[in-house]
């Protein structure tokens, strides 16, 4: 037995995060840990990795009981972990980040060479010489995975590794993981994607409310049966109603932005529009200009011409985020901690970040009671598991924090909502709820722009789709006319010049790099 957990328990104020959990993993076994948001998965993984100490229970590693004092000790034993929230320094390059963890006896150029070798061996794209702040979430995750693989682990813990990967990248990752397992490495795999667990994992432990609620062979289960074990119900089905198209609320008109720094993507001749009452989905592999487009839309990048970004016909391209928010634009970035929330601040204080000043202040003073009520409303409506409005953002599980952020912006009654990766890390039940809320916003006349790497998600909620590749945008196509295969081809930058609906095979093809 590679790893055995025996009767592990861990409490936080007001919540028993792990309650008498036992599980074991053999060499070469890929073992899924499944459970709804807040079920206790991350806590359990942190206990194995020595980042959190259990209140009770013991860990047996290769037959010997150990007290995992800290992550350093876990790493020495051959345990590697990719966290849900990455632990990279923004200003350093990918290689420098990895170098930091490797100790003194190796030079940076040797590290870069080893990264290139691992990346090539496993087919993982990685640019070791780029500063981390220029990398998308998906690219950062690859850096984390490569960092683990360099240590030649005996147990690899992956906390939702595919939540930001494209279907093709997921397939590649699975090849890597199967190869690692065949070499004898054990893998603990946390994911909310039931199809992945069924495809990849040999065994599955299901957690519910901190306790083990089932141990199953995932290949023998259906997505519905796994969902029932996890949340006690089938995932709710989405209703896509015909909507009333309103006026154009968000318009991007010939947006051109030269790359801001060596590694950012230049945006070229990008135009789009979103009407009230519709959801436009933007698909694309991360790192193709999504971040740059988002910055130009949110007001963090104000280099554009004023008329290049228009809200309800008004030019706003040179206005900052606060001015745009006043005009009804709400924005949900992909980084949950640090950008969408301040980790050490409470949920009620975090309401302030995106509130309209007039609604939460009186005579220049902050109305704490209002903030508290707003935070409570988000918690209730979106089923956020938290100790209350005063809980610090960082005390929430990843999925619950995501529910809070999305809920905060939706309850802010946006005219235009721009959201990146709306259901990152949330369980099937909560993902369905967030998607339903986005559809309800659209039905109420809001213009919604969703940028996501998850094609399934875009196909579920978008009315129209466009693809971003190398800073350029494909033509728009109605969701009902698009296929996953076709969008996949467009994602590599190949789309028809002519009318949308034509396939690259039978029309003139443009290459986004041209
Ligand atoms: N440092 C902490 N302080 C207080 N409460 C915490 C802390 N860490 C976790 N919790 C609580 O413990 C419970 C389990 O959280 P955990 O992160 O393990 O859940 P999870 O199953 O990984 O969820 P998700 O799928 O959303 O990532 C949650 O209720 C969470 O709020």
Question: Whose CA is closest to atom 12 on ligand 1?
Answer: 17
pLDDT of res. 510: 42
pLDDT of res. 513: 37
pLDDT of res. 233: 74
Parts of the chain with a pLDDT under 70: 84-85, 103, 137-138, 163-168, 236, 262-263, 336-338, 498-514
pLDDT of res. 450: 97
pLDDT of res. 205: 96
pLDDT of res. 390: 92
The DSSP string of 232-255 is: SSPPPPP---------EEEEEEEE
Q: Which residues contact 478 (CB under 8 A, 6 or more apart)?
A: 463, 464, 465, 500
Q: Which residues contact 167 (CB under 8 A, 6 or more apart)?
A: 455, 484, 488
pLDDT of res. 263: 67
Residues in contact with ligand 1 by the CB-under-6-Å rule are 12, 15, 17, 35, 37-43, 385, 395-400, 425
- What atom of ligand 1 comes closest to residue 44's alpha carbon? 18
pLDDT of res. 123: 73
Domains of the chain: 3-231 (3.40.50.300), 235-328+414-514 (3.40.50.300), 341-411 (no CATH)
Q: How far is the CA of 192 from the centre of ligand 1 (A)?
A: 15
Here the ipTM equals: 0.97
Question: Whose CA is closest to atom 19 on ligand 1?
Answer: 38
Q: How far is the CA of 54 from the centre of ligand 1 (A)?
A: 14
Average pLDDT, the chain: 87
pLDDT of res. 167: 67
CA–CA dist 398, 345 (Å, integer): 16
pLDDT of res. 47: 97
CA–CA dist 104, 452 (Å, integer): 40
pLDDT of res. 84: 64
Q: How far is the CA of 10 from the centre of ligand 1 (A)?
A: 11
pLDDT of res. 368: 83
pLDDT of res. 477: 95
pLDDT of res. 507: 39
Q: How far is the CA of 400 from the centre of ligand 1 (A)?
A: 9
CA–CA dist 32, 157 (Å, integer): 10
């Amino acid at each position: 037995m590679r790893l055995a957990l025996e009767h592990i328990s861990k409490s936080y104020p007001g919540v028993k995060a792990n309650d008498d959990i036992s599980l074991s993993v053999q060499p070469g076994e890929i073992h899924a840990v499944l459970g709804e948001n807040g079920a206790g998965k991350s806590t359990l993984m942190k206990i194995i990795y020595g980042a959190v100490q259990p209140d009770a229970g013991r860990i047996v590693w290769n037959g010997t009981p150990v007290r995992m004092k800290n992550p350093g000790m876990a790493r020495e034993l051959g345990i590697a972990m990719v966290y849900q929230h990455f632990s990279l320094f923004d200003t350093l390059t990918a290689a420098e980040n990895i170098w930091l963890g490797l100790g003194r006896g190796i030079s940076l150029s040797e590290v870069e060479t080893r990264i290139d070798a691992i990346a090539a061996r496993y087919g993982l794209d990685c640019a070791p010489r780029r500063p981390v702040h220029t990398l998308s979430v998906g690219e950062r995750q690859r850096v984390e995975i490569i960092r683990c693989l360099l240590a030649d682990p005996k147990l690899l813990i992956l906390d939702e590794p595919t939540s930001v990967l494209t279907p093709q990248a997921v397939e590649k990752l699975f090849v890597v993981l199967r190869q690692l397992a065949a070499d004898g490495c054990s893998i603990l795999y946390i994911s909310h994607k039931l199809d992945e667990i069924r495809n990849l994992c040999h065994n599955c432990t299901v957690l519910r409310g901190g306790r083990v609620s089932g141990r199953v062979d995932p290949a023998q289960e259906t997505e519905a049966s796994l969902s029932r074990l996890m949340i006690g119900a089938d995932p709710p089905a989405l209703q896509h109603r015909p909507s009333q198209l309103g006026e154009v609320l968000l318009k991007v008109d010939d947006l051109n932005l030269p790359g801001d720094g060596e590694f950012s993507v230049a945006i070229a001749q990008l135009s789009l529009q979103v009407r009230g009452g519709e959801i436009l989905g933007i698909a694309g592999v991360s790192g193709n200009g999504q971040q740059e487009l988002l910055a130009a839309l949110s007001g963090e990048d104000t280099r554009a011409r004023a008329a290049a970004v228009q809200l309800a016909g008004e030019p706003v391209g040179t206005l900052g985020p606060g001015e745009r928010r006043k005009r009804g634009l709400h924005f949900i970035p992909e980084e949950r901690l640090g950008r969408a929330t301040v980790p050490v601040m409470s949920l009620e204080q975090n309401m302030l970040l995106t509130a309209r000043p007039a609604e939460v202040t009186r005579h220049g003073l902050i109305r704490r009671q209002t903030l508290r009520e707003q935070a409570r409303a988000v918690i209730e409506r979106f089923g956020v598991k938290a100790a209350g409005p005063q809980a610090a953002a960082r005390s929430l599980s990843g999925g619950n924090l995501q529910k809070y952020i999305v809920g905060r912006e939706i309850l802010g009654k946006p005219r235009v909502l721009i959201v990146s990766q709306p259901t990152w890390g949330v369980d099937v039940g909560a993902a369905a709820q967030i998607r339903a809320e986005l559809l309800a916003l659209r039905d109420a006349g809001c213009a919604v722009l969703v940028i996501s790497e998850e094609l399934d998600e875009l196909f579920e909620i978008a009315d129209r789709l466009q693809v971003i590749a190398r800073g350029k945008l494909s033509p728009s196509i109605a969701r009902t006319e698009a296929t996953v295969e076709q969008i996949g081809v467009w994602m590599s930058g190949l789309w028809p010049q002519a009318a949308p609906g034509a396939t690259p095979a039978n029309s003139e093809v443009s290459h986004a790099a041209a």
